[in-house]
Structure 1
Amino acid sequence: MRQLLPEALRRLWAHEARVFKSFGLWITGRRHQVRPTDRAFGYASPQAATVYGLTFVCVVETIGVSFLVREWPVVHAVLLVLDLYTVALVLGMQAAAVTRPHVLTPDALRLRAGARVDLVIPLDRIARVRGELKFQGAGGEVPDDVLELPVGSQTSLTVELTEPVTHVPLIGKRRAVTTVRFHADESRELAGALRAAANAAG
């Protein structure tokens, strides 16, 4: 446990650094590590309304709390910093989701979930691609070898592999996965492109 704690903290720190770096990409309209020869597929649309709604609630709370504690300068300053950090973190997660899309390269499928997940699947390991709408938690317990990357509590594509790939979570142990369920805004287009690319690689 003592050996895992520093590693977990390092991962969390790196995650937050990636989140805040995404602001720069978002403002300038750029995307993270997408080459001209790659195809990018977004996935952030289903969560946008929720994120912006939560941001609005956080801003209202910040204003309300600042008014209530205005007579205690130290408390006011501490809470203001924490509230502004929360607002920035929530917006940063959306920025990371927008600027870090799924990427189909000539030899791999790179699946991402904001700054939290970055999983590379070689095309020659893809056995099957299915377009299917699944809602998180609707199918019962998820097997250990299945990785779900829901957006708005849903996934729209399932990829089955011939060999496992290693998923490294922010907190917890690495695990081998042979099936990945994820969402893409243009799921049909990605499924078709991925089947063609996997067949060519195989």
Structure 2
Amino acid sequence: MRIVRALARHETRLLVSLLLWTARRTHGAGSGRVFFSYARGEGPLMFGLAFVCVIESLTMSVLLRDWPTVHRIVLGLDLYTVVLVIGMHAANVVRPHILDTDTDTDTDTDTLRIRRGAHVDLRVPLQQIAAVRRELRTTHLRAPSELDLPLGARTTLTLELAHPITHFTLLGRQRHIHTVRFHADDPASLADAITRARTAPSPLPDRPAAA
């Protein structure tokens, strides 16, 4: 039952992302937040997959034309699959990485929000980042304490954390992560922004009130 609920939440996020994409809105917008996209390279692949699904739907319609009940069921499932595929691309677009450095709050709350569509939304406090580097990888070996979020089979940034942080998978499994590899369309800009945010001077304390 827990798995069913998790999958239902995921599909709901895909459908919401599709609505946000249609409305040209970004999920997580707010003061002091800078967005970094990562969906540019995978767009053609996702639309190609949606096109294949449409062709498959048309083919099944021809093959099942003599069984109207089965035809309607299969057509409904095929159309829903097309919507979910487009929703996956929409989620990549409207849920970018976010660097949250709101100057109106305590700097200890500054975070990097690493996202991958509708199924990963990892919040990394900036003070937990030990190092950030540009690193192109096209192969990824699974390791218990590493989180790889490739897009188009590649990652372009690597974060090393000072202390492990907790990550929950799509189905709710808990993992402790000390290395995160992910993709950004402009990895240099994101790496520079993270470095600047981590090394920004602390705000000066208020002057004591006059006696």
TM-score by length of 1: 0.93
Runs of 4+, deviation exceeding 4 Å: none
Displacement after TM superposition at 1:200 (Å): 2.5
- Contact 2:165–2:177 (CA<8 Å) still a contact in 1? yes
The superposition leaves residues 119-157 of structure 1 with CA deviations (integer Å, 9 ceiling, x where unpaired) of: 0000000000010100134xxx32211100000000000
Q: Which residue of 1 aligns with 2:155?
A: 155
Gaps of 5+ in 2: 102-109, 203-211
Corresponding residue SS for 1:71: coil
Corresponding residue SS for 2:152: coil
The superposition leaves residues 16-42 of structure 1 with CA deviations (integer Å, 9 ceiling, x where unpaired) of: 000001111101110001214210001
The superposition leaves residues 37-93 of structure 1 with CA deviations (integer Å, 9 ceiling, x where unpaired) of: 210001011211110111111101111110111111111001001100110010000
Corresponding residue SS for 2:25: coil
Corresponding residue SS for 1:184: coil
Q: Which residue of 1 aligns with 2:195?
A: 195
1:37 and 2:42 correspond: no
Instruction: Supply the AA of the counterpart residue of 1:183.
Output: H
When the two chains are superposed, the root-mean-square deviation of aligned CA atoms in Å is 1.3
Which of 67, 70, 79 aligns to 2:74? It is 79
State the identity as a percent: 46
- Contact 1:136–1:150 (CA<8 Å) still a contact in 2? no
1:92 and 2:95 correspond: no
Displacement after TM superposition at 1:115 (Å): 0.5
The superposition leaves residues 91-130 of structure 1 with CA deviations (integer Å, 9 ceiling, x where unpaired) of: 0000011000000001000000010000000000000001
Counterpart-to-counterpart distance in 2, 1:68 and 1:15: 32
Cα distance, 1:201–1:77 mapped onto 2, change above 3 Å: farther
Counterpart-to-counterpart distance in 1, 2:50 and 2:139: 23
TM-score by length of 2: 0.89
Q: Which residue of 1 aligns with 2:137?
A: 134
Instruction: Supply the AA of the counterpart residue of 2:43.
Output: A
Corresponding residue SS for 2:134: strand
Counterpart-to-counterpart distance in 2, 1:172 and 1:21: 21
Equivalences, count: 194
